[in-house]
């Protein structure tokens, strides 16, 4: 989806170019200057809209990546749970070794 600032900015930029060219053709310094001013304002609004679109796109990408990582983590935890149910003795040995290692770390700090 394109930001509205891009559309209105492009329209103002085009209108400013037309007004500036009309001012140049007719020799009207006021119309030429006002046209150039509208053109620059339209270009700035268009760039602002592009920045908003880029920020929205980056946020969408970050959300999609976070959602993917969450799903991967959930699947990994589910697989780990299923393995621990299949091999309960192995799970107890691993948990015991982790507890023993943590006990050594805590004891070593005293």
Q: What is the mean pLDDT of residues 68-76?
A: 95
Of 3, 9, 6, the residue nearest 57 (C-alpha): 3
Interval 5-46: pLDDT, tens: 888 989 999 999 999 999 988 988 998 999 999 999 999 999
Of 63, 41, 64, 61, the residue nearest 53 (C-alpha): 61
pLDDT band at 110 (very low <50, low <70, confident <90, very high): low
Distance from C-alpha of 21 to C-alpha of 50, rounded to nearest angstrom: 26
| Residue burial 42-66, b: 16+ Cβ < 10 Å; e: rest | bbebbeebeeeeeeeeeeeeeeeee
Distance from C-alpha of 35 to C-alpha of 22, rounded to nearest angstrom: 9
């Amino acid at each position: 989806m394109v930001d509205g600032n891009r559309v209105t900015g492009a329209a103002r930029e085009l209108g400013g170019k037309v007004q500036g060219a009309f001012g140049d053709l007719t020799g009207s310094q006021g119309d030429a200057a006002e046209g150039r001013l509208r053109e620059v304002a339209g270009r700035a609004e268009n760039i602002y809209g592009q920045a908003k679109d880029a920020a929205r796109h980056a946020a969408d990408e970050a959300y999609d990546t976070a959602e993917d990582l969450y799903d991967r983590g959930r699947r990994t935890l589910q697989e780990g749970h299923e393995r621990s149910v299949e091999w309960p003795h192995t799970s107890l040995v691993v948990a015991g070794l982790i507890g023993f290692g943590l006990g050594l770390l805590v004891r070593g700090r005293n």
